[in-house]
Structure 1
Amino acid sequence: MWDKDQKLGIITIEQFEKLYLQQAPKLIFYARKFVDDVVAEDIVHDIFLKLWHEKPEIDFREEDNPYLFRMVRNACYDFLKHKAVEESFVDKAFNELKMEELEWNDSYETFLDQEEKINAVYTVIDRLPPKCKEIFVKAYLEEQKHSDIATQLNISVRTVDTQVYKALKIIRDHLIPVLVLLFSLFW
């Protein structure tokens, strides 16, 4: 994998591997004070990768090298700072969406209008013939497949299709005048 004679700064690859195995657990433990476990491991691994690529002329033979701990501390700080900016951006975007929603839904009457429309639909559904209502509720409100409804009720799929069509026609015929009336009241 590596040429055994290759040097990393002033230490060999074997020394670097030894340094990693000795220092990484301590550095990860230190980083966990500030960030979660996964991020702590990522930060420490990234630091060692950076050291590998930059090959600094630093003597890493000290048992607890303050330079490594400073690098971890700075990386944790940068991560948390970036996360705060990211969260403030998300919070800002969320608040802007809510403000847009409030502008679109600018009045209590609009909310009542929507609620009245929904209530009108449920009122018409309640007035459907019993078998028609049962099939329609299963198909549209419970979102069951027509074949499953047919099996449950011991009827043909064609009968389910016919009853759903009948229910939709009744609902449409009853709701058009109601919705026209509601729109005329608020416009």
Structure 2
Amino acid sequence: MKPDLESILFRKFKEGDYAAFNSLFTKYYQPLFLFAKKFVAEDMAKDFVQDCFYELWKNRKKIEVKNTLSAYLFTMVKNRCYKYFEREQFKAGKLNEIEFRLKQEEFNFFLNSEKSVLEFEIRDRIQNTLQKLPPKCAQIFNESRFNGLSNKEIAQKYDLSLKTVEKHISKALKIFYNEFKEHTYLLFLLNFKNN
């Protein structure tokens, strides 16, 4: 099985390839920033994310990612935000103990929720998978599964036979099944659609 693009980028990044690092930065900066902004001010969120990428680059040779790079990065940013509240807010008396514990629970829930932590990664993987499909196949599958059109509506919109639409969708589903084997709930949602 060929390694995916992110695995190749991460390997090059660990070898000191700055272009690979820049690609990872471009891919993850915005979702990490939006994540941090849920808990701290915008300027601080930017600083925290940039600090995390600096640490990532500085320690690239000894980094071990056990699950996914996205989960690793989200954890880094989460810990940076959490330490800020613990050190600057709680110790300075700006948050009382109850408020602090509520914020702690919010962090834990957000990080441990599969939907919230993986949604950026899954969305990105869906787009990458769509790009692997032939253009017309990707277009039809996107209309069917993500824009909510029925097979009949797609056939009318693109002047295709119903059978052709069904063949494109079937082909796309096979590729998605291969790409998302570990996300059975997503496969169920992609497959379970009234046409």
Class of the TM-score when normalised by the shorter of the 2 chains: 0.3 to 0.5
**Which entry has the higher C-alpha Rg, 1 or 2?**
1
- Normalization by structure 1: what TM-score? 0.39
- Normalization by structure 2: what TM-score? 0.37
